[in-house]
Structure 1
Amino acid sequence: MHAVDQSGEQDLLSRVAAGDEAAFTQLFHHYYPLLSTHIFRITRSAEDTEEIVQDVFFKIWMSRESLTGIAAFRPYLWVIARNRALNALQKMARERSNRAAYTQSFAETESPDHLPQLYSLIDEAIRQLPPQQQQVYRLGRQERLRQAEIAERMGLTVATVKKYMQLAVLSVSAYIRDKHLVSLPLVLLLCMRR
């Protein structure tokens, strides 16, 4: 795709702001390769890069009305993408740290004999979920699909998949916690590992 000059870009942004999907597609294809390279330098992960870039463009589409007020789109796009990438890296670091802490805590306090009972309880909790939440949870946690892949497979938006996953994890955690068998952190750890 050929370059978009400043005046052409402003026209393109105005069309996107008005809800023109063809203009959004053009904007996406113009910036996708550059933005992917920029984000990959931060994340060093092709999968994380893909998810972040999709999230960025999803955010742009959802707040498209504000595009008419942006004088320099490229710096705006880079800042949004950089912030998303840094947030993703911080989240991954927190998850690794939490996982390590919970694994250590589990090793010190729990017997491996309890695992079959706990996994059975998690399966029971999953069966209690509404059908779409259940499917999102299984695709994400058990088949290890990314949110964009789940959204495509199920015909949902990425935002809906995120919401269903959050609700499913909370429901599974609450179900197990209500059984008074394990602590919430351990439940979250086991939900992530399955």
Structure 2
Amino acid sequence: MLKPEESLLELFHDIGSGKETAFNELFMVYYEKLVLFAKYYVKQNESAEELVSAFFVRLWLKREQLTAVSNPAGFLYNGVKNAALNHLRDQQKHNIVIGEQEAGELFQFTEEGIASELVDQKELQQQLSMAIASLPEQRQLIFRLVREDGLKCKEVAILLELSVRTVENQVYQAVKSLAETMKSYLGYLPK
């Protein structure tokens, strides 16, 4: 069975050389771990399995590049994280289109007061989403992992190879920045 980092580097080198047995071993050892990791992002087991399976297919297709990887475990987790984030981005775009269609239907079937309240909530959510998207990339990722995905700062620190204090500081800075951004929209500083 696979041993720590040294063996993983050897395994990546063997896969890069085209050895299917090495690829199968990597798949057997890391598939479930990567599915659990992807599930933190996509929240659905089926989607996580599809993402990881597709990631392994791409890994095999680009196997020659694996010999240049110096941190194989980080490479695997970052690859799955990026695939999951891309999936969520695509899903969010799809949901916005559906949400706009539903909003159009709400205007037809609700009283004006209720409809305007729904529009205000949607607009507030869009403003908040834009504010989150405008955060620096690392701060945005940490904020989403802690506030939206419910991970603890210590878990995020281990995942991203940062100190717990750095993660806590990034969350604080993100909340402070979002509150300031939303202040101009709301007319008061949110708590």
CA distance, structure 2, for counterparts of residue 5 and residue 19 of structure 1: 21
The residue that corresponds to 1:127 in the other structure is: none
Q: TM-score scaled by structure 2?
A: 0.51
CA distance, structure 1, for counterparts of residue 58 and residue 101 of structure 2: 33
| Residue identity in the other structure for 2:88 | L
CA distance, structure 1, for counterparts of residue 2 and residue 16 of structure 2: 20
The residue that corresponds to 2:164 in the other structure is: none
Question: Which residues of 2 match residues 122-161 of structure 1 at below 5 A?
Answer: none
Question: Which residues of 2 match residues 1-194 of structure 1 at below 5 A?
Answer: 2-102=1-101
User: Which sections of structure 1, spanning at least 5 residues, go unmatched?
Assistant: 109-194
Q: Is the Cα–Cα contact under 8 Å of residues 2 and 8 in structure 2 kept in the other structure?
A: no
Listed one character per residue, the Cα deviations across residues 39-86 of structure 1 (whole Å, up to 9, x for unaligned) are 111111011101110111111111110111111101111111111101
Query: Aligned-pair distance for 1:105?
Result: 5.5
Aligned sequence identity (%): 24
Listed one character per residue, the Cα deviations across residues 148-180 of structure 1 (whole Å, up to 9, x for unaligned) are xxxxxxxxxxxxxxxxxxxxxxxxxxxxxxxxx
CA distance, structure 1, for counterparts of residue 4 and residue 89 of structure 2: 35
Q: CA RMSD in A?
A: 2.0
- Relative to structure 1, is the Cα distance of residues 8 and 79 closer, same or farther in structure 2, using a 3 angstrom cutoff? same
CA distance, structure 1, for counterparts of residue 18 and residue 34 of structure 2: 22
CA distance, structure 1, for counterparts of residue 9 and residue 92 of structure 2: 38
How many equivalent pairs are there? 108
Q: Is the Cα–Cα contact under 8 Å of residues 16 and 64 in structure 2 kept in the other structure?
A: yes
| Residue identity in the other structure for 2:7 | G
CA distance, structure 1, for counterparts of residue 19 and residue 2 of structure 2: 19
2:18 aligned counterpart, secondary structure = coil
| Residue identity in the other structure for 2:100 | A
CA distance, structure 2, for counterparts of residue 27 and residue 43 of structure 1: 23
| Residue identity in the other structure for 1:90 | R
User: Which sections of structure 2, spanning at least 5 residues, go unmatched?
Assistant: 108-191
CA distance, structure 1, for counterparts of residue 60 and residue 105 of structure 2: 43
CA distance, structure 1, for counterparts of residue 91 and residue 31 of structure 2: 23
The residue that corresponds to 1:123 in the other structure is: none
Query: Aligned-pair distance for 1:99?
Result: 2.1
